[in-house]
Amino acid sequence: MASQRDIRRRIGAVRNIKQITRAMQFVAASKLKRAQDATLASRPYRDMVDEVIADLAAVLDAETHPLLARREAGTRLFVVITTDRGLCGPLNTNTVRFALKEILDHEGPVRVVTVGRKGRDALRRARVPLEAHFAGFGDRPAFADVTPLTRLVTDDFLAATYARIDLVYPTFVSTLVQRPVLEQVLPILPAADTDGIPGNQFIFEPNPATVLRQLLPRYVATRVYQAVLETTASEMSSKMVAMKNATENAEELIEDLTLSYNKVRQANITREMIEIASGAQVR
């Protein structure tokens, strides 16, 4: 049985950990609101770009722009987006597991570009060939931050290095739910002209082909930026929940250790009283 001193030391250590996890919980909660607002605010813009692309697709074909070109065979590129830091629950593990399943299910050649240190390390351990790596974009990602990544994947697709490029990232559903998804970004697949989106509802100046040439690179960058925002919001929400659970577990552990401490203390007092009584009887 542990001594009173050992139990006191453990209680002190757990209390220190509890203070750290509680502080990290509050920090993640404060950052979550900003990340959540940015993610939700950017979704209507992405949806509107989809609507414009769908309308352009009603009057143009895939030969109008090389980013619309579909290739039957070739290398497939996965852009796996995770976080740089841990302590965010199963978020990165679920995303990497989801990406590995998609990679293993694909029969052709595969390459991977990682964003975030956690995904890079996990895929390296799984011996997945990495084409490039980008560090995370921080707690406040800007649209300009994704420009190098967007330019890399766009240039490689235009050079016919890859036949298809997919994004794998955790999408923000709610504070308690973050779900990994796979989204094809190249070649661009215009949404079907349905659900209340009639064809030719916009007037394009000077002409649809020129608008398409300017819009498609922006569309790719928007998709990548939205994935980064979703990952940031997922990270903060998952970290807040994980630190909240860690704080509650520390409180329960402190209660258990305090109970054990009181039992040991009571046993020591009883033993000392018995020794005193025994000594008095001997005299």
Question: What is the model's pLDDT at position 194?
Answer: 47
Q: Confirm if 163 and 71 have CB atoms less than 8 A apart.
A: yes
Q: Tokens representing 4? A: 């009173």
Please give the single-letter amino acid code of residue 217.
Answer: P
Q: Is the peptide bond before 180 cis (omega within 30 degrees of 0)?
A: no
Which phi and psi (to 5°) does residue 113 adopt? -115, 130
- Exposure string of 245-266, with b = 16+ CB inside 10 Å and e = fewer, is ebbeebeebbeebeebbeebee
Q: What is the pairing mode between strands 76-81 and 110-115? A: parallel
Token output for 29: 């909660």
Q: For residue 78, what are the contacts with CB-CB under 8 A and spacing of at least 6?
A: 99, 102, 103, 110, 111, 112, 113, 166, 168
Residue 200 — left, alpha, or beta (φ > 0 → left; ψ -120 to 50 → alpha)?
A: left
Whole-number CA gyration radius for the chain:
28
Sequence spans of domains, the chain: 22-241
Quote the pLDDT of residue 64. Answer: 66
Q: 180 and 170 in contact (C-beta within 8 Å)?
A: yes
- Give the pLDDT confidence score for residue 190 in this predicted structure: 65
Contact 130, 112 (CB under 8 A): yes
Q: Give the containing element (helix H, strand E) for 111.
A: strand 110-115
Output the pLDDT for position 281.
64
Q: What 3-state class would DSSP assign to 211?
A: helix
d(CA 178, CA 236) in angstroms, rounded, equals 11
Contact indicator for 88, 118 with CB cutoff of 8 Å: no
Q: What is the pLDDT along the chain (283 residues), one digit of tens a residue?
A: 678 888 888 889 999 999 999 999 999 888 888 888 888 888 888 888 877 777 776 666 656 677 777 777 788 999 999 998 888 888 999 999 999 999 988 888 889 999 989 989 999 998 888 889 998 787 888 888 888 999 898 888 888 888 899 999 999 988 888 899 999 888 877 665 445 555 556 677 777 777 777 777 788 888 899 999 999 999 999 999 999 999 999 999 999 988 988 888 888 788 777 777 776 665 5
- CA 135, CA 118: separation in Å to the nearest integer? 10
The CATH superfamily of 22-241 is ATP synthase, F1 complex, gamma subunit (3.40.1380.10)
Q: Which amino acid is at 130?
A: L
